[in-house]
């Protein structure tokens, strides 16, 4: 099976410097910024400035299109940067066009010029593609070195938003190369950090394949590519600008890409789905990809003693449970902080306690979530699968932060670890 992707004739990069000290001669300022670059990049940027592919202009804010302030805020722009943008008198607009594929010379060269002008004028550098505010020094550091290597993570972000059954994660940056963005649905919150790395690695593997297909197509309006894509741990490591060890190439996962372009008001997206023949749930597929790329997470079951300390811990957690639900319904949690509950599974005389991430809780008597581990006594409870938890079965709750674990609550865990 194949996916058919359209190939744009050109792709455009646009960077803006918001400043109250605009250069008197924007073209000269651009050449001065390019002249400070090193190696082959300096010659390439100067050559693009001499041709028709790049333009640099300065205009008063009143004469320029409004900047996407709310989008910048959503993508993490600090308040002081937003204040500087709103207080600027001028914008310096740096734009370039180039062909799709690799290398993304339009992005490299335009970011280099805009970052230099921002440093010279004390202005605020904005990448309008993402859109996001960039530190000029970090922007310059993201450019390819003498060996031509550049970390894809500096050009492709992975935003996420909560959903009823997990996180919706997308890329934002593949359009720089002429590609649709990747997306994956219903990622268990416990796998958010790992899937950020996995999706960035997938983006790199896709860019490599795309660049090869575009080069072979030689100006064609469409290219055909297999819908199966293999990603390795080495792809993820290289995507973040590091050099992988020899074993990283052996850790690999197979995914399938589905082109979704049903809504004409939205750009097409490449959805990551299980490969043909995968016989388990979508959540288990997401967990398996992480395990195949980065190693299996520990699933050791710890059996809790039913002593006075544990009974007190359960009582404390249950007393505070209504407050946890109130905070959840008020929107306090997600996408970086998640409410999790530990609940009792019973099969015959066997009992097991597992954690689930809460996704919806409209009824105080029951909630819906996503299992954070595999159960030993119930083969239907697997990492990433949806769960329905009755309030009466909950014995503990906590606030879970990806990478840090439980940062609040978790009273029964404290008993188990002797804290």
What is the predicted pLDDT for the residue at 305?
A: 55
- Decide if 21 contacts 126 (C-beta within 8 A): no
ω into residue 335 within 30 of 0, thus cis?
Answer: yes
pLDDT of residue 298: 44
pLDDT digits 0-9 by tens, 157-193: 999 887 767 789 999 999 999 999 999 998 887 788 8
Q: What is the pLDDT of residues 236-248, one digit of tens each?
A: 999 999 999 988 8
State the alpha helices, DSSP H only, in 157-298: 192-217, 233-239, 282-294
Q: Which range scores top for mean pLDDT: 41-55, 159-173, 364-378, 390-404?
A: 41-55
Report the chain's mean pLDDT, rounded to a whole number: 90
Instruction: Examine the pLDDT at 34 and tell me if it is beyond 60.
Output: yes
pLDDT, mean of residues 311-339: 91
**What is residue 418's predicted lDDT score, i.e. its pLDDT?**
59
Token code pair at residue 316: 């404390």
Give the count of beta carbons closer than 10 Å to the beta carbon of residue 245.
11
Backbone angles phi, psi at 156, to 5 degrees: -125, 115
**pLDDT in the model for residue 381:** 85
**CB 17 within 8 Å of CB 94:** yes
Residue 3 pLDDT > 90: yes
| Phi/psi of residue 265, nearest 5 degrees | -85, -10
**pLDDT top residue among 289 and 297:** 289
Q: Residue 299: what pLDDT?
A: 39
Residues 12, 96: contact at Cβ < 8 Å? Answer: yes
Residue 265 has pLDDT above 60, yes or no: no
Q: Which has the higher per-residue pLDDT, 182 or 281?
A: 182
Q: Is the pLDDT of residue 300 over 70?
A: no
Cα separation, 375 vs 396, whole angstroms = 17
- Ranges of beta strands (E only) in 297-371 are 337-347, 350-363, 366-371
pLDDT of residue 26: 97
Q: Which of 32-36, 142-146, 202-206, 321-325 has the lowest mean pLDDT?
A: 142-146
- What angle (nearest 5°) sits at the alpha carbon of residue 185, between those of residues 179 and 186? 160
Q: What is the pLDDT of residues 62-107, one digit of tens each?
A: 999 999 999 999 889 999 999 999 999 999 999 999 999 999 999 9
Among candidate residues 286, 293, 73, 269, the one with its CA nearest the CA of residue 172: 269
3-class DSSP state for residue 321? helix
Residue 306 has pLDDT above 70, yes or no: no
331-353: pLDDT as tens digits: 998 777 889 999 998 888 888 88
What residue spans of 122-191 are helical by DSSP H? 136-141
* CA-atom Rg of the chain in angstroms: 25
Give the angle subtended at the CA of 362 by the CAs of 347 and 377, to the nearest 5°: 15
Q: Say whether pLDDT at 303 is over 60.
A: no
Give the 3-state secondary structure of residue 387.
Answer: strand
Using DSSP bridges, classify how beta strands 166-170 and 160-163 pair: parallel, antiparallel or unpaired.
antiparallel
Query: What φ, ψ does residue 307 adopt, rounded to 5°?
Result: -110, -175
**How far is CA 364 from each of CA 322, 333, 344, rounded to the nearest angstrom?**
8, 17, 17
Whether the pLDDT of residue 264 is over 60: the answer is no
Residue 263: pLDDT band with limits 50, 70, 90:
low
């Amino acid at each position: 099976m194949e996916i058919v992707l359209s190939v744009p004739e050109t792709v455009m990069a646009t960077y803006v410097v918001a400043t109250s000290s605009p250069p008197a001669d924007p073209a000269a300022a651009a050449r001065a910024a390019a002249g400070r670059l090193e190696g082959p990049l300096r010659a390439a940027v100067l050559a693009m400035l001499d041709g028709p592919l790049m333009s640099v202009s300065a205009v008063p804010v009143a004469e320029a299109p409004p900047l996407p302030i709310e989008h910048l805020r959503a993508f993490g722009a600090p308040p002081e940067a937003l204040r500087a943008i709103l207080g600027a008198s001028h914008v310096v607009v740096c734009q370039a066009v180039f062909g799709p594929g690799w290398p993304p010379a339009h992005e490299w060269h335009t970011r280099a010029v805009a970052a230099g002008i921002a440093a010279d004028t004390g202005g605020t550098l904005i990448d309008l593609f993402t859109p996001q505010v960039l530190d000029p020094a970090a922007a310059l550091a993201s450019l390819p070195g003498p060996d031509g290597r550049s970390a894809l993570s500096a050009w492709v972000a992975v935003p996420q938003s909560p959903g009823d059954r997990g996180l919706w994660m997308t890329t934002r940056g593949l359009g720089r190369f002429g590609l649709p963005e990747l997306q994956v649905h219903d990622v268990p919150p416990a796998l958010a950090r790992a899937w950020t790395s996995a999706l960035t690695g997938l983006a790199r593997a896709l860019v490599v394949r795309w660049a090869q297909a575009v080069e072979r197509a030689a100006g064609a309006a469409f290219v055909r590519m297999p819908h199966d894509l293999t990603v390795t741990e080495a792809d993820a490591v290289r995507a973040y600008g590091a050099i992988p060890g020899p074993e990283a190439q052996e850790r690999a996962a197979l995914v399938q890409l589905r082109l979704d372009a049903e809504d004409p008001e939205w750009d097409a997206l490449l959805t990551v789905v299980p490969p043909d023949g995968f016989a388990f749930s979508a959540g288990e597929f997401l967990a398996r990809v992480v395990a195949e790329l980065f190693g299996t997470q520990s699933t050791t079951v710890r059996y809790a003693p039913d002593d006075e300390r544990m009974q007190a811990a359960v009582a404390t957690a249950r007393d505070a449970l209504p407050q946890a639900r109130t905070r959840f319904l008020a929107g306090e949690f997600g996408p970086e902080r998640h409410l999790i509950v530990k609940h009792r599974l019973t099969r015959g005389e066997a009992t097991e306690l597992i954690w689930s991430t809460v996704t919806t809780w409209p009824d105080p008597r029951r909630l819906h979530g996503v299992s954070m581990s595999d159960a030993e006594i119930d083969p239907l409870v697997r990492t990433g699968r949806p769960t329905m938890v009755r309030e009466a079965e909950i014995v503990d709750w906590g606030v879970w932060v990806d990478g840090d674990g439980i940062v609040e609550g978790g009273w029964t865990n404290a008993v188990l670890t002797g804290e």
